[in-house]
């Protein structure tokens, strides 16, 4: 039998707390660290309005000092230019790499919830536009995704 030498699991859940507010819950659990994040993002600006973090397991007596640093993220907008750099520079470097990692994971999850979420609603109501039209509209709503990947680039150029 071959045993694992390292394992990390990340679990993210996104819910609508209100029509204009996402609530993200993230859990990271690996051989060394256990941590959780809860934060709220207000629409349409996608601004982080509240954030809480909790350690479950950590490796040094200094790690708990990373928790207050999370409050620096309040007021940041997840689609603003340089958001990832800001998370790495402040939440990671002044706090903790693993909280930064989990925050970015949750923000990515919010991005795709905002991007694809309505598609499922349209399908349920059997009123879905075609995929191309849907993506074109969503790329207007979230301009930072324009040209960000093969899929998004093709919809902009109309290929």
Beta carbons within 10 angstroms of residue 108's beta carbon: 13
Q: Is 49 in the site for another protein (CB under 8 A)?
A: no
- Residues with Cβ within 8 Å of residue 98, at least 6 apart in sequence: 28, 33, 35
20 forms part of the interface with another protein (CB under 8 A): no
Query: Could you tell me the smallest distance in angstroms from the CB atom of residue 48 to another protein?
Result: 17
For another protein, the binding residue among 14, 41, 48, 87 (CB under 8 A) is 14
Neighbours of 82 (CB within 10 A): 9
**Binding of another protein by 62 (CB under 8 A):** yes
Per CB under 8 A, 90 contacts another protein:
no
Strand order in the sheet with 34-42: 21-30, 34-42, 47-57
From 37, 48, 66, 139, residue interacting with another protein (rule: CB under 8 A): 66
Token reading at 123: 């399908």
Q: How far is CA 124 from CA 9, 77, 90, 96, 118, in A?
A: 31, 30, 41, 41, 10
Considering only residues 104-143, where is the footprint of another protein by CB under 8 A? 105, 108-110, 112-113, 116-117, 119-120, 131, 135
Closest CB to another protein among residues 3, 127? 3
Residues within the interface to another protein (CB under 8 A): 2-17, 22-23, 30-32, 59-63, 65-66, 69, 92-97, 105, 108-110, 112-113, 116-117, 119-120, 131, 135, 147-154
């Amino acid at each position: 039998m071959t045993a694992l030498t390292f394992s990390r699991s990340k679990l993210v859940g996104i819910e609508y707390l209100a029509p204009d507010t996402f609530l993200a819950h993230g859990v990271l659990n690996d051989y060394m660290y256990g941590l959780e994040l809860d934060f709220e993002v207000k629409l349409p600006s996608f601004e982080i309005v509240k954030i809480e973090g909790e350690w479950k397991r950590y490796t040094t007596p200094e790690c708990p000092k990373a928790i207050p640093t999370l409050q620096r993220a309040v007021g940041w907008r997840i689609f603003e230019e340089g958001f990832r750099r800001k998370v790495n520079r402040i939440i990671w470097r002044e706090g903790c790499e693993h909280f930064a990692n989990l925050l970015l994971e949750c923000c990515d999850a919010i991005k795709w919830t905002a991007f694809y979420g309505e598609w499922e609603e349209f399908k349920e109501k059997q009123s879905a536009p075609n995929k191309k039209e849907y993506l074109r509209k969503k790329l207007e709503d979230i301009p930072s995704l324009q040209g960000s990947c093969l899929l998004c680039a093709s919809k902009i150029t109309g290929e």
